[in-house]
A and B are shown apart, each in its own frame.
Chain A
Amino acid sequence: MSILLDYQQTSDHTLTKKDLGNYLPVKKVVYDTQDLNLWYSDVHALKDINLSIYEKEVTAIIGPSGCGKSTYLKTLNRMVELVPGVQTTGTILYNGKSIFDRTLKVEDLRTRVGMVFQKPNPFPKSIYENIAYGPKIHGIRNKKVLNQIVERSLRGAYIWDEVKDRLHENAYELSGGQQQRLCIARCLAIEPNVILMDEPTSALDPKSTHKVEELIQELKQEYSIIVVTHNMQQAARISDKTAFFLNGEVVEYDNTNLIFNNPTDKRTEDYISGRFG
């Protein structure tokens, strides 16, 4: 496993590999995972994970089914604790602070770290109420402010033009792809720093997938995005860094083009070239 700490990117992403390790400012680490182990009752699901995830990048996590990639993602906002019998050791630092710290309220963490799920899961409310839900539970009641937030979030998720005339219709009347972008907009409404995406396009058709991928590219200007995907082409298309998980371990973590063009580990190569998985 190699992490290229010496490689940094500019904000406009015009760097090529040649510029590696040059004069650029160091990108901030958002998530620093140290010796993370996780058990579901007696199943050892994550083994000695060490990963540093950088700000305002897209980090893809790939690997075959059951390799622990979703588990890792859900550990980052502690959603994994909803499963009974989960135990963890090691630490995850979020902006330098341990997310397992007892003084940290898990709700505060999840307010800073948004999540988009595999299957679109809008609330059975109107489009407007779906977006306003987050701000409302965090105490924003002013109608004007809420209206602004709703419009800004929907614009941010590039769905505004499709729904602006039907904000008070039930969200379940939207297509699957629109629902997923609505869920992304719902996430944006509370302005998180990080967005976790758990196979966000696996339930979508190719056209909707394309739209969501474009959206991810736009969002990384402002947000750090961690996306779990079983689609390797997708990881190659949209991510800056890629981590390859296998049997609960990180086999390789590097810049995406290095992972896909010049993997150091034989297992990564085998997986990427489609020999298993």
Chain B
Amino acid sequence: MAANTKMKDDNTVQVRELIDQKKQKKSFANLVEKAIPFFLFIITSISIFTTIGIIFTLLTETIEFFKRVPILDFFTGNTLEPLSQDPSFGVLPLITGTFFSSVIAIIVAAPIGLMSAIYLSEYASDRVKKTIKPLLEVLAGIPTIVYGFFAFTFVTPILREIIPGLEPTNILSPGIVMGIMIIPMIASMSEDAMSSVPNSMREGALGLGATKLEVTTRVVIPAALSGIIASFVLGISRAIGETMIVTIASGSSKNFTFDITQSMQTMTAYIVEVTGGDAPAGSTIYYSLYAVAMTLFVFTLIMNLAARYISRRFREEY
């Protein structure tokens, strides 16, 4: 055979042979081909391992904290006085602070965001949409420290004109401003969800004599509900995790109160305050940071899981 091949014109390229030769070679390329998936797996794992690492650190330090402060005292205590002679570490003031600021934010953002989304998706002409959507995204790009400043120097004075008893630092003003901050996100995500509802469904409803409003409320919104809920939840998550606005505009009183005109501290603002001062490593205050962070983490986790369940239950598949 080999002789036979040789006898042929040397200029003729023997394609099959060349390919076979290449295949037999255990080339570097082969190795790369096999290594690639493994390599990519490692890269993907980085974020997972980081998360696991963070949770692990949180957990160990939190356990250390609960060795010093009983877990029941932490979750049921309504006084937080970490720096007093006889310190107490009740987390409830921080939880109410976070709760009220987030609730105020979502009360402001959900209706405004959803109505903006309805307008953009169902009523606005293409030209209007093309102008407004980028504007919304500009609003989303403003640094949160600017919002905090805005809440403290602009919104609070106006609110104090309306509500005489309002304290200079209070939870209401940063709540409202956080709401304003998450409006673009809710509007934009809900609009995406509503725009992706196929037109054939709108036509089906219009063909039955439905008005535009009936089409929107009874066909488009139900069909886009999972996306809309997802946008609300992400909005709430952002509000819970938001730090700068509440730190600036709500002060650092660890009040346990249900009065939104007063100053309250959120979990995030507490972490800022304590890390900003010098909490010596190994002190109870130092460990309390981890316990609060862990609580924050569990909160958002529960929220996300609940949201997943809700959006799956209400999903209308098409």
Contact = CB atoms under 8 A, between A and B. Distances in A.
A186 B208 contact: yes
B222 A125 contact: yes
Contact of A117 (B204, B211, B219): B204
A251 B185 CA distance: 54
A135 B204 CA distance: 14
Interface in A85-108: 107-108
Interface string B217-247: 0110011000000000000000000000000
B78 to A, nearest CB: 47
A134 interface: yes
A183 B316 CA distance: 17
Given A121-B198, A123-B201, A123-B223, A107 B317 contact: no
B203 interface: yes
A53 interface: no
Given A133-B218, A137-B214, 4 more contacts: A114-B207, A117-B203, A119-B200, A137-B208
A234 interface: no
A108 B223 CA distance: 25
Nearest to B215: A137
Interface residues of B, number: 21
Contact of B316 (A114, A115, A124, A138): A124
A114 B208 contact: yes
Contact of B201 (A111, A112, A124, A137): A124
A82 interface: yes
B203 A82 contact: yes
B317 A170 contact: yes
A79 B206 CA distance: 8
Interface in A199-252: none
B158 interface: no
Contacts of A125: 222, 316
Given A124-B201, A124-B223, A134 B208 contact: yes
B276 to A, nearest CB: 50
Contacts of B201: 121, 123-124
Contacts of A124: 201, 222-223, 316-318
The interface centre, meaning the residue of A111, A137, A183 with most chain B CB atoms within 10 A of its CB, is A137
A248 B264 CA distance: 71
A190 B214 CA distance: 16
Interface string A52-91: 0000000000000000000000000101001010000000
A172 B208 contact: no
Nearest to B225: A124
A172 B317 contact: yes
27 contacts: A107-B209, A108-B209, A109-B209, A110-B207, A110-B208, A111-B209, A112-B209, A114-B207, A114-B208, A115-B203, A115-B207, A117-B200, A121-B204, A123-B201, A123-B219, A123-B223, A124-B201, A124-B317, A133-B218, A134-B208, A137-B210, A137-B214, A170-B316, A170-B317, A172-B317, A183-B204, A187-B208
Interface of B: 125, 198, 200-201, 203-211, 214, 218-219, 222-223, 316-318
Contacts of A133: 205, 208, 218-219
Interface in A133-181: 133-134, 136-138, 170, 172
Nearest to B219: A123
Interface residues of A, number: 30
State the 4 A-B residue pairs at the shortest beta-carbon distance, nearest first: A111-B209, A124-B316, A115-B207, A121-B200
Given A117-B200, A124-B201, A172-B318, A107 B210 contact: yes
A133 B223 CA distance: 14
Contacts of A79: 203, 206-207
A190 B209 contact: yes
Contacts of A109: 209
Given A137-B214, A170-B317, A110 B203 contact: no
A137 B223 contact: no
Nearest to A110: B209
A111 B198 CA distance: 22
A71 to B, nearest CB: 14
Contacts of A108: 209
A174 to B, nearest CB: 13
B221 to A, nearest CB: 12
A77 B207 CA distance: 8
A170 B205 CA distance: 17
Nearest to A171: B318
A41 to B, nearest CB: 14
A200 B287 CA distance: 69
The interface centre, meaning the residue of B206, B214, B219, B317 with most chain A CB atoms within 10 A of its CB, is B206
B184 to A, nearest CB: 27
Contacts of A77: 207
Given A125-B222, A137-B214, A190 B208 contact: yes
A110 B316 CA distance: 25
Contacts of A82: 203, 206
B135 to A, nearest CB: 23
A75 B207 CA distance: 12
Contact of B208 (A84, A111, A122, A170): A111
